[in-house]
Structure 1
Amino acid sequence: MIPNWILQRSTLTPEQVAVSFEGQSWTYKEINDLALRYASKLEALGIKAHDRVAIFATSTPQIIFMICGCMHLQCEMVLLNLRLSKTELAYQIQDSEAVAILVEDELLNKLPETASPIHSFSKVSDVSAIAFTPTDEWDENDTMTIMYTSGTTGFPKGVRQTVGNHVSSATSSLYNTGLVEDDTWLCTVPLFHISGFSMLCKCLLHGVRLELLKKFDVEKVVDFLVDGTVTRMSVVAFTLERILTELEHRDVYVSDKFQTMLAGGGPVPIDYLKRAIKRHIQISQTYGMTETSSQTATLSSKDALRKIGSAGKPLFFNQIRIENAKAPFEQGEILIRGKHVTPGYVGRFSDKPSQQDGWLHSGDIGYFDDEGYLFVVDRRSDLIISGGENIYPAEIENVLTSHPSVREVGVCGVEDDKWGQVPNAFVVLNNNVEVNELLVYCKEHLAGYKVPNKIYIVDELPRNGSNKLLRRKLKELI
């Protein structure tokens, strides 16, 4: 059993500022008081302890109050991605079997029709509270969050993350970074992502402040970095480059109080690392996934240039091995073990084991060098990483092949200066159709970042002797 995080934190450091947002702030005692109120109101709406609820909201303090209220109720929270289409949202709501949807008022019209009851944030606020007493302890094996990640079959998988998973992730991170006076995480990533939610968990467990932005705003971010009011943040290569450009434009440097910038979502170009050092930014490249509740390995900033392209070493408690590798530099699938690894999935994939003999098979190919540093060679062979977002070609292919004029589809990632990669689609037609019509069709059924940057009409797709699509050959058709 693990003590109720919110109760214990509000007891240990009640006056410590927990969350800051647009000039307002809330202490840990105030967060707990609000969370208890939200929990009682949710219970008044018929939501019971351990119920599975979906949350659809932007990154404002209201979603934090709602999340903490759900934590008091020990609800399983399905965190819905704001960038999804109604079709994608409908799949996740149905697949997760959420008993209710908690939604920010301004987003009501973005939800699909669903049999699950919908409770707007204002409805929750307006309902009369009833008596509610939180439990003092949580079972570490209880599911806390469910986040959907793209699957190789084209159907997203609902990944379970337990109380113990999040505790393990936050603890390993703390052993890696330590704490400093006035530690503050600047959160510009969505709280429905594992990177954002894990940041909230770290703050609750470590008792530090979360400086929250509703979305990435490079001017505000640079203001925080320069004035020294934040000490840590997470970025992807795309957002890092925008920060560097703004710092260079102003000809200013990051405050000495700033400690670490975690960079995930793919390798960081060497040019970015050199530019960051000039602006006094300590970059720590990381490797992790939704199934590992965020970080699994991290490269220390002091090794950033010495080990270009490396994801570093496993964090404390975490284990990584390369399947069938007998010596350094031998490549194989990256296998992961630790208390941060998901115990499994929900819905369509609930019977799919997440581990084999205690190890998570990541699907990524990598190797260790002769000093024990991990290098990720392929980010799941077909995966497209666009602006830090993971896109599986099968998802786009499934949508396009559902169009009556389309017979076959192949999708691959193409390098892009702005996003790192963008998806391109290659289509064999049943009958004539305009490319623009296909793009509109994609926009109706896919999140914006998954819509192909270009669609090419081709006579045939490259295949092997078994008629398996050879995605690596698709670029040759351009």
Structure 2
Amino acid sequence: MYPNWILQRAYLTPLRKALAYKKQSWTFQELQDLSIKRARQLVALGIQRGDRIAIMGPSKPELVIVMYACMHLQCEMVMLNRRLSQDELAYQLEDSGAVCVLIADEDIAKLPPETGHYLFSTIEEGVERTVDIEKEWPLHQTTTIMYTSGTTGFPKGVRQTVGNHQASATASVLNIGLQAHDVWLCAVPLFHISGFSILVRSLLYGNQVVLYDQFDVEAISQHIIVGEVTHMSVVAVTLERILHTLEQHNTKASPHFKLMLAGGGPVPVDYLVRAHALNLAVAQTYGMTETSSQTATLASEDAMRKIGSAGKPLFFNQIKIAQPNAKGEGEICIRGPHVTPGYIGRFAQKDATMDGWLHTGDIGYIDKEGYLFVIDRRADLIISGGENIYPAEIENVLLTHPAVKEAGVCGVADEQWGQVPIAFIVLHEQASVEQLQAFCLQKLAKYKVPKEIIITDSLPRNGADKLLRRKLLQ
């Protein structure tokens, strides 16, 4: 048994700032009191201890309080992605068997028709009913259920337990270190593992979270320039926006800003070089929904020496490469206390691990010093004339062109070669397709050069801004 994180944190540091949003802030004691009140209001509406509840809303304090209320009731929280279509949400709601949806008022139009729900405003205005709040939680208790992005078929509902989240947070902090006055800026969605894990670290280590419901690059960059925050989590596309803004302002990160964790897929090497020039410490990480956030993280002191690496496994974790080829490249497999015990719904009978190891579907290698390099998703691999082509390699090259803001690469069928790569590009400034192809020819083998380059206004991304290559052709 482990302590109820919310009660224990409020007991240890009740007056310390826990959460800030725009011009408001809350202490850990205030969050505890509000979340207990909300738990009593949920019980009055018929929510019972241990129910499986779906939750949807923007990353605002109201969502944090509702989630903490559900945690007090030891409910299993199905975290719904606000960017999904009604059909996609309907699948998750049916698959999860959630008894109802707790939803922010502004999101109600996103729900499939005739879905049982309670609006946040209805809950907040409701009566309270007495309920005993457990002071301890069992390690195996499922806290959150998050659906994978469905890159390999139907999305899977992944269970994440108290033990999973706790092991992930502890290993992360053993790696990066956190002090009482550190402040984590959260501009990633709370329904995603990267966002929720920030809240878990806040509760376990007593750090303040500065919350953003939208990615405001000017305001966020200002926090970094001034040094009002010390840590932040990003994906490649949001990192590039911050880099571009700092460069446009001809300024650098404050020495008070300590570390940016970059996940959600390989970070282009060019971004890491630019960040280093701006005194912005970036630690590339590797993790997934099934591992409750990070599995490996590159120490900041190795950032330039091992550029492009996701680092070494965190303290409690293990990584191996299954069936490596002659170059040592193979499927990345993970073992540790942060790995999910399994799935729900249509995948409930699917084992999460084989002989204790989670097979990720990602391709990578481990160098002689034990550093992990993630090459790409196995499902995104392009095989052209018998040659393996990794989309991330082509994207990395394209992103070094000064005119390219974003790049996505996928394979299309070809009668002669089986598959060939094509690229979709978002531009910073004017550049012709011919210029971009000539640029690629200088840096890539001819068979890797995109056979077609399509200029577009945006690329398809999921709720965590991760590129969805399978949707590029759509």
Regarding TM over 0.5, the answer is yes
Q: Distance in 2 between matches of 1:58 and 1:100?
A: 18
Structure 2 match to 1:330? 328
* Offset of residue 269 of structure 1: 2.1
TM-score by length of 1: 0.81
**Distance verdict in 2 for CA 1:208–1:186, change over 3 Å:** same
- Find out whether 1:309 has 2:308 as its counterpart: yes
The 3 A distance-change label for structure 1 pair 321 and 153 is: closer
- Give 2:133's aligned residue: 134
Contact map agreement 1:145 1:160 (CA 8 A) in 2: yes
- Say if 2:272 and 2:307, in contact at 8 Å, map to a contact too: no
SS at match of 2:352: coil
Task: Say yes or no: does 1:354 pair with 2:352.
Answer: yes
Aligned AA (2:40):
S
Find the counterpart in structure 2 of residue 416 from structure 1: 425
Distance 1:25 1:286 in 2: 30
Q: Which residue of 1 aligns with 2:183?
A: 184
Shift of 1:286: 0.5
Instruction: Name the residue aligned to 1:32.
Output: 32
**Could you tell me how far apart the structure 2 residues matched to 1:224 and 1:152 are?**
34
Q: In 1, distance between residues paired with 2:409 and 2:121?
A: 36
Report the secondary structure of 1:202's partner residue.
helix
Q: What one-letter code is carried by the residue in structure 2 that aligns with 1:75?
A: C
Give 1:305 shift. Answer: 2.0
Within the alignment, does 1:217 sit opposite 2:226 as a pair?
Answer: no
Show CA shifts across 1:382-439 (max 9, x none): 288999x9x999xxxxxxxxxxxxxxxx9987353569xxxxxxxxxxxxxxxxxxxx
Aligned pair in 2 of structure 1 residues 249, 448: CA closer, same or farther (>3 Å)? closer
Q: Which of 146-155 and 183-192 deviates more?
A: 146-155
CA distance in 2, matches of 1:208, 1:80: 26
1:453 deviation in Å? 4.8
Offset of residue 280 of structure 1 = 1.1
TM-score normalised by structure 2 residue count: 0.82
User: Which sections of structure 2, spanning at least 5 residues, go unmatched?
Assistant: 382-390, 400-405, 411-418, 429-459
Partner of residue 18, structure 1 = 18
Pairs within 5 Å for 1:327-406: 330-382=328-380
Residue in 2 that maps onto 1:204: 203
- Distance in structure 2 (CA, Å) of the matches to 1:319 and 1:150: 24
Give the Cα–Cα distance (whole angstroms) in 1 for the partners of residues 354 and 74 of structure 2.
29
Query: SS at 1:277's partner residue?
Result: helix
Bigger drift between 233-242 and 83-92 goes to 233-242
- Contact 1:90/1:113 (8 A) holds in 2: no
Whole-angstrom CA distance in 2 between matches of 1:70 and 1:257: 35
Task: Specify the alignment match of 1:46 in structure 2.
Answer: 46
State the AA in 2 paired with 1:342.
T
Q: Which residue in the other structure is 1:429 paired with? A: none
| Greater CA drift, 214-223 or 305-314 | 305-314
The 3-state SS of whatever aligns with 1:272 is helix
Work out the CA distance in 2 between the residues paired with 1:160 and 1:145. Answer: 6
Preserved contact between residue 56 and residue 80 of structure 1 (Cα < 8 Å): yes
Alpha carbons 1:151, 1:392 under 8 Å: kept: no
What is residue 192 of structure 2 aligned with on the other side?
193
Structure 1 residues 61, 412: CA separation in 2 closer, same or farther (over 3 Å shift)? farther
Aligned-partner Cα distance in 2 for 1:417–1:314: 34
Give 1:169's aligned residue.
Answer: 168
Structure 1: how far apart are the matches of 2:142 and 2:173? Answer: 22
The verdict on how the C-alpha distance between 1:449 and 1:173 changes in structure 2, with shifts beyond 3 A counting, is: closer
In the TM superposition, what are the counterparts of 1:252-263 in structure 2 within 5 Å?
252-263=251-262
Aligned Cα RMSD in Å?
2.8
CA contact (8 A) 2:324 2:331 kept: no
Per-residue deviation, residues 134-185 of structure 1 (Å, max 9, x unmatched):
0010011010000000335521000000010000000000000112351011
Greater Cα shift, 251-260 or 345-354: 251-260
Give 1:114 shift: 4.1
Equivalences for residues 69-84 of structure 1 within 5 A: 69-84=69-84
Contact 1:79 1:146 in 2 (8 A): yes
Q: Aligned partners of 1:198 and 1:448: how far apart in 2?
A: 17
1:151 to 1:265, Cα distance in 2 relative to 1, 3 A: same
How has the CA–CA distance of structure 1 residues 331 and 449 changed in structure 2, closer, same or farther, with 3 Å as cutoff? closer
User: What secondary structure is seen at the aligned counterpart in 1 of 2:14?
Assistant: coil
Matched pairs, number: 411
Deviation at 1:22? 0.3
